[in-house]
Structure 1
Amino acid sequence: MVRLFTLLCSVWWRFMMVSVGLLLGSQVACAQAAQAPVEVRVPFAPSPVTGSDGLVHVAYELHVTNYYSSTGTLHLQHVTVLEDKTSRVLANFTAVQVNSLLAHPAEKADTTGVVLEAGKRVVLFLWLTLPPGRPHPRLLRHQLAFTTSNGARQLVDGVRTSIVTAPPIALDAPLRAGPWLTHEGPGNPYAHHWNGIVVVNGQTTIPQRYAIDFFGLTPDGHALRRVSLEQLKTSAHADWVGFGADVLAAADGIVRDMRDGEPNQAVLASPSSPTDVTERTLMGNFVVLEVAPRVFVHYGHLQPGSVQVKVGDRVRRGAVLGRLGQSGNANAPHLHFLVSNSAAFEESEGLPFVFRAFDCLGSAKIHQVLNQAEQVTIEPRFQKSSRQQLPLDGSVVTFK
């Protein structure tokens, strides 16, 4: 009887210890997975677009705000992007990799993660490649892991954003022939275009999310004719290959805004800082063409006296709008080209687009094409004839 009583007590004690252990384990897990007092949002839903690498990409931003002053400093250690329906992981970023998602990463990444001070916000720029051979996900979910100043772990789970299902606008060439270098172009989160956040009139937008600066090149891949690197600052506009090239309507449309008469800037001179961020303070001479409902093509830095259209004009694709110049906030001759959802630059979101036909010769760096003494090696990473694709940053293209 004593033995039976002892056995029953032993079983009861083990049961209680297991129960307490499970309870404590659950409490520890909850403590480890405490909800972070952080706001995370995606201001503008991403749209899939096929790049000149033949892969489908989405570009978007995560705004992460450490809301309460009492929270103290947080360290963002992990970001995971999942397909919401299947929970399949599409991308994983650990502490050092999270640093690379910033517009201006720290030179020496903190192994404890990206520092997020109380009351501050960071913006993460995500360029994701969607898995080939599968239907595109309709909804993305995000998980973010933080640690507090005392080492406690906090999580955010469930931040969702839909993926736009409508295809990107298809355009014809904005320039003739080529070759052209697509500088500061799509897929480069460190480009001043994509990380150029505009905050005005109660809105935070990124008009230049997919913007491209087109630089004309010689057949051997240089942006200037017979000008050495030492002579760049004294070069004339006419020394630049693209200067004066016809700028073309990339689709049928209606001119919604334009300006002419602004002078070209001196080559490689630093433009004065604009007092505000608008088409008129940035683009010099420009044309804005509405090519579909809430789809606007913007052309900037045109030559003074070259603009051929006025507001309200209906133009056909291929029509000459003006000539490539260096007016406005530009330090070298090039065409600034972007597509957005508004005629007003400062209140618009950049939209993806594709060109119907172009040849991608490969890729090159801007420092190569500016140096006559350097033989430009066009890397053949995307070399092919492209249809319905978006030229990615650094591509060298010719238009049909």
Structure 2
Amino acid sequence: MALLLLNAALILSVLAAVHWYLYRRLVKDVSRAGSPWRRIGTVLVWLLSATTAFVLVAGPAEPPFEVGSLADRAASAWLPVLLYLTLALLLGELVRPLLRRALARRSARSADGPGEASGAAEPGDRSRRLFVARTVAIGATTLAAGGAAAGRSGGSPSQGPGGQGVELSMPFTGLWRARNSPARKVPSHGTDLLGSRYAIDFIAVDDKHRTAGSRSWRTFLATEPPELFHAFGLPVLAPVGGTVVAVHDAEPDHEGRRSQLALVPYMLGQASRLRRGANGVAGNHLIISLSESGPFVALAHLKAGSVRVSVGRRVVEGQHIADCGNSGNSTQPHVHMQAMDSADISVARGLPMLFRHFREWPSGPEHFRVRARTVPEEEAVVEPLPGTAP
């Protein structure tokens, strides 16, 4: 725990230094004291700093839908710009002395000509520094805006309603939030690796659409016990009838991470989990074959010791086959579900899925709609309905 708190303090210190650096290079260096831009720029940097703090706090706090949506939009718009802008300004540190020397040489050549006023070197030097600072600031801002725009436009189309896919039931009862949904983008998890092109995550929520019943300082700065989350230990049901062709149940459940600060060291361990292959990423999981030649459906991140079926076992739709856990590459307890063309996750290609009949709350707990043979919207809360749509 002490290491996690030290990590959180270090990241907060880095973020504070980054925002101070932005103020220095984009406001203080390019304006004179008391000028309008100095005042406006200072206010802007304070507002952007507040936006960063808001994003860090709002996610773990799980605020009402409207506030959460605002935080998501702020994060998607500002955080990439913050990253690109910082990198561009650091690159500008290499360009800055080169520009100064070039301008100094040019000024020296001009000073050798007639009519050069004596004692103009100091004001000229200040003018050159201001010119270089403004040039680097404008260039860095342009690069950052272009990089952020390119990143936002580079996604693949989402999986819309009315398409084809493997028709399945949702593998649970009650209310669950859809995350990393193919309705947002494809590949839904940002990669085609391990058959996850059309994968979807489901996180259990309460009637207020919260993933956990309580919050503490650990929610914002550190990790939390998996038992704190509504999803942990809930039954996972067979989404379709078929034969179990693979089972792995040897991975521990680790602590949950709602804190953006606690996610940083977790992400640094991503490479080691990938090197372990399917077991390191999927954690405890099982695979059901709909027929001898497929398709195949995988359910991942199951609770340690909870798998109730073995390889070769026939299961029927709705059968309790395991419990939800937090094993493998998982930041909080949830069910990861994907359809594939092979029982071997390491080489499988993902297939689209269609969920038969469910109720969906796309914008908070007040209003819902009934949908059929499609995938849930990103961040929508869903509840499976019995049977198929009329």
TM superposition score category, shorter chain reference: 0.5 to 0.7
How many Å apart are 1:322 and its aligned residue? Answer: 0.5
**Contact 1:287-1:300 at 8 Å conserved across structures:** yes
For 1:215 and 1:275, how far apart are their aligned partners in 2? 23
Q: Distance in 2 between matches of 1:254 and 1:275?
A: 27
Q: Secondary structure of 1:231's match? A: helix
Secondary structure, in 3 states, of the residue corresponding to 1:287? strand
Deviation, 1:264, is 0.4
> 1:319: which partner in 2?
319
**Which residue number in structure 1 is paired with residue 233 of structure 2?**
244
Is the 1:261–1:285 Cα contact (8 Å) retained in structure 2? yes
Specify the alignment match of 1:348 in structure 2. Answer: 348
Q: Show the counterpart of 2:13.
A: none
Separation in structure 1 between the aligned mates of residue 169 and residue 213 of structure 2, nearest angstrom: 28
Give the Cα–Cα distance (whole angstroms) in 2 for the partners of residues 234 and 123 of structure 1. 32
Residue 127 of structure 1: CA displacement?
3.2
Higher strand share: 1
Using the TM superposition, give the Cα deviation of residue 107 of structure 1 relative to its aligned residue in structure 2, in angstroms. 5.0
The counterpart of 2:145, out of the listed 76, 87, 108, is 108
CA distance, structure 1, for counterparts of residue 343 and residue 308 of structure 2? 18
Answer with 274-283 or 352-361: which moved more: 274-283
Structure 1 280/379 Cα, relative in aligned 2: closer, same or farther at 3 Å? same
Query: Cα–Cα, structure 1 residues 129 and 398, in superposed 2: closer, same or farther, change >3 Å?
Result: closer
State the Cα deviation string for residues 316-366 of structure 1 (Å, max 9, x = none).
111111000001111211111111111112211211111111100224xxx
5+ long unaligned stretches in structure 1: 1-105, 116-121, 133-164, 199-205, 364-376
Deviation of 1:218 (Å): 1.0
Q: Contact 2:177–2:382 (CA<8 Å) still a contact in 1?
A: yes
Match of 2:190 among 170, 187, 195: 195
CA contact (8 A) 2:168 2:240 kept: yes
C-alpha contact (below 8 Å) 1:277/1:346 kept by paired residues: no
Matches of 1:128 and 1:255 in 2, distance apart? Answer: 27
**Contact map agreement 1:227 1:235 (CA 8 A) in 2:** no
Aligned to 1:92: none
Query: What is the match of residue 371 of structure 2?
Result: 386
Distance 1:110 1:288, change over 3 A: closer
Aligned to 1:288: 287
Give per-residue Cα distances to partners, 1:9-63, cap 9 Å, x unaligned. xxxxxxxxxxxxxxxxxxxxxxxxxxxxxxxxxxxxxxxxxxxxxxxxxxxxxxx
Partner of 1:347, secondary structure, is coil
Select 2:213's aligned residue among 221, 225, 239.
225
Aligned to 1:397: 382
Which amino acid letter does the alignment assign opposite residue 239 of structure 2? A
8 Å contact kept, 1:339–1:350? yes
CA distance in 1, matches of 2:366, 2:379: 10
1:362 and 1:379 in contact (8 A); partners too? no
SS of 1:109 mapped into structure 2: helix
SS in 2 for 1:342: coil
Q: Describe the SS at the equivalent of 2:280.
A: helix
Structure with the largest fraction of helix:
2
- Residue 127 (structure 1) aligned with residue 158 (structure 2): yes
Report % sequence identity.
26
Select the residue among 195, 217, 237 that pairs with 1:207. Answer: 195
Q: Tell me if structure 2 keeps the 8 A contact 1:279–1:346.
A: yes
Aligned-residue offset at 1:230: 4.6
What corresponds to 1:180 in structure 2? Answer: 176
How far off its partner does 1:395 sit? 1.4
- Contact kept, 8 Å, 1:227 with 1:239, in 2: the verdict is no
Are 1:266 and 2:255 matched, yes or no?
A: yes
Indicate conservation of the 8 Å contact 1:287/1:321, yes or no.
Answer: no
RMSD of aligned residue pairs (Cα, Å): 3.0
Whether 1:359 and 2:359 are equivalent positions in the alignment is yes
Name the CA shift for 1:240/1:251 in 2 (closer, same or farther; >3 Å): same
Find the residue that maps to 2:145 and give its secondary structure.
Answer: coil
**Change in CA separation of 1:107 and 1:379 when aligned onto 2, cut-off 3 Å:** farther
Residue 109 to residue 128, structure 1, CA distance change in 2 (3 Å): farther
SS in 1 for 2:158: strand
Task: Count residues with an aligned counterpart.
Answer: 230
